[in-house]
Amino acid sequence: MREIVFDTETTGLNPRGGDRLVEIGCVELLNRCETGRTFHAWFNPDRDMPAEAEAIHGLSARFLADKPRFHEAVQDLLAFIGDAPLIAHNATFDFGFLNAELDQCGHPVVCMTRMVDTLTIAKTRHPGAKLSLDALCSRYGIDRSHRVKHGALLDAQLLAQLYVELMGGRQIGFMLPAEESGDVTAPVGITDVIPMTVRPMRSFSASPEELARHAAFVAKLVDPLWSTVDAQG
């Protein structure tokens, strides 16, 4: 099953009041394993950046001035997310901004039935506990030392690990050592990716040779139990 974990950064809290999406980061999962495929983009919001928003994500109007507008990059984004379920933390916020931008540039909005909210899942797992991304990463032992400021791709990568834990988990301590990744030019204090090594998915299906050997072995069995069951109906 293919799923997309994503996060957004914005100019504020209200897309209906003129706030805009300025960054999106997406991480692809197959059968709840990271494939290493990601999508990341910054957008020029064509408006000022409130100081309180810049303090959270570090994205200034000057930095975003030469970035594409959302409508200029939307086709690449839509091609990446496809028709997969979309996972976010406090997902109604991220869906609200994503759909506002899609609607503004004349694209169909994303159906809310595709939304998976890790905040809702966490509330059922840990009622009464702190449920911020930072708090949940601490609870599950997910390393967030790269997180100096909020960044959409970094937060999506952290959320991908958290989502796997919330849905059943894995042993984080058994992960292979990560390789260093290249630097990404960005405002000081923003780290966009977690260095990681993604191993290719393995197929566990029997090969034609293995199936042939199995059939030859079964053919040698005398009065196997299942033949008696079949005869009895």
- The predicted-structure confidence for 177-206, as pLDDT tens digits, reads as follows 434 334 334 544 444 455 555 555 556 678
Instruction: Spot the catalytic one: 40, 71, 126, 150.
Output: 150
pLDDT given for residue 199 in this prediction: 57
Q: For residue 153, which of 231, 53, 20, 59 has the smallest C-alpha distance?
A: 59
* 52 assigned to a ligand binding site: yes
Better-predicted residue by pLDDT, 64 or 145? 64
Prediction pTM value? 0.74
Residue that is written with structure tokens 């169909």 in the block? 108
Write out the CATH class of domain 2-200: alpha beta
Residue 40 pairs in a beta bridge with 25
pLDDT given for residue 229 in this prediction: 57
* 7 assigned to a ligand binding site: yes
- Residues 213-226 have a mean pLDDT of 82
pLDDT per residue over 68-98, tens digit each? 999 999 999 999 999 999 999 999 999 999 9
Residue 21 pairs in a beta bridge with 10
Extract the tokens encoding 77. 């984004």
C-beta of residue 29 within 8 angstroms of C-beta of residue 3: yes
Q: Is the pLDDT of residue 21 over 80?
A: yes
Q: In 56-205, which ranges are E strands?
A: 86-88, 115-117
Q: What percent of the chain clears pLDDT 90, i.e. is strictly above it? A: 69
Better-predicted residue by pLDDT, 18 or 227? 18
Q: Is the pLDDT of residue 171 over 60?
A: no
Q: Is 107 a catalytic residue?
A: no
The Cα–Cα gap between 5 and 153 comes to 10
Extract the tokens encoding 95. 């869906």
The Cα–Cα gap between 37 and 160 comes to 12
Sorting pLDDT into bands at 50, 70 and 90, what band is 224? confident
Q: Is the pLDDT of residue 4 over 80?
A: yes
Task: Decide: helix, strand or coil at residue 128.
Answer: coil
Better-predicted residue by pLDDT, 112 or 205? 112
The Cα–Cα gap between 69 and 21 comes to 10
Backbone φ and ψ of 26, nearest 5°: -130, 140
* 89 assigned to a ligand binding site: no
Poorest-pLDDT segment among 87-101, 129-143, 170-184: 170-184
What's the gap between Cα 180 and its chain centre? 21
Q: For residue 121, which of 87, 94, 82 has the smallest C-alpha distance?
A: 87
Sequential DSSP letters for 33-64: EEEEEEEEEE---SS---HHHHHHH---HHHH
115-149 burial: b if 16+ Cβ within 10 Å, else e = bbbbbebbeeeeeeeebebeebbebeebebeebeb
Poorest-pLDDT segment among 56-70, 186-200, 214-228: 186-200
Measured CA distances, 89 to 38, 72, 117, 164 (Å): 17, 26, 6, 13
Q: What percent of the chain clears pLDDT 70, i.e. is strictly above it? A: 81
Extract the tokens encoding 66. 């030469």
Extract the tokens encoding 213. 């050997």
Residue 27 pairs in a beta bridge with 5, 38
- Residues 88-110 have a mean pLDDT of 98
pLDDT given for residue 197 in this prediction: 55
- Residues 168-172 have a mean pLDDT of 65
Please provide the average confidence, as pLDDT, over all residues in the chain.
87
9 burial (CB, 10 Å; 0-12 / 13-18 / 19+) is: buried
